[in-house]
């Protein structure tokens, strides 16, 4: 299992615009190997920006890479850059090594 994260920072007070953009975009849900999408918002009012973590879960690293090379990815990331986004998104990829669910012991993945 593989998890990709993108950290995105936006101007304070504009997070709802980023949430709207992501709710309107689609395509990843139907890509082979896709498991889950989540958008996390940093719970910290002390910063002068809002920070989000876009989290996608995949059956494998190769499935995630195929998504990034796909026409669906290009379409989802086309168009003008939003002026409320600060800097560039920072991607990180992780191999899931250990997991558990409710009522289950942790086990290797």
Q: Which residue ranges make up each domain of the chain?
A: 2-108
Helix (H) or strand (E) holding 22: helix 15-24
**pLDDT at position 75, please?**
87
pLDDT in tens, the chain (109 residues): 999 999 999 999 999 999 999 988 778 999 999 999 999 999 988 889 999 999 999 999 999 999 999 999 998 888 888 999 999 999 999 999 999 989 889 888 8
pTM exceeds 0.85, yes or no: yes
Tens of pLDDT along 70-98? 999 998 888 888 999 999 999 999 999 99
Nearest to 50 by CA among 10, 23, 78: 10
CATH architecture of 2-108: 2-Layer Sandwich (3.30)
Cα separation, 54 vs 95, whole angstroms: 16
Task: Tell me which residue of 74, 77, 72 sits closest to 27, measured CA to CA.
Answer: 72
Q: Which parts of 1-99 are beta strand (E)?
A: 2-11, 34-41, 49-58, 85-95, 98-99
């Amino acid at each position: 299992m593989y998890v990709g994260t993108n950290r995105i920072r936006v101007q304070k007070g504009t997070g709802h615009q980023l949430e709207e953009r992501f709710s309107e975009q689609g395509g990843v849900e139907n890509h082979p190997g896709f498991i889950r999408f989540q958008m996390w918002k940093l719970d910290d009012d002390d910063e002068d920006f809002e920070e989000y973590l876009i989290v996608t879960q995949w059956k494998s690293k190769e499935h995630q890479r195929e998504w990034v090379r796909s026409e669906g990815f290009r379409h989802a990331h086309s168009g003008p850059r939003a002026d409320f986004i600060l800097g560039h998104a920072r991607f990180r990829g992780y191999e899931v090594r250990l997991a558990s669910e409710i009522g289950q012991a942790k086990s290797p993945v």
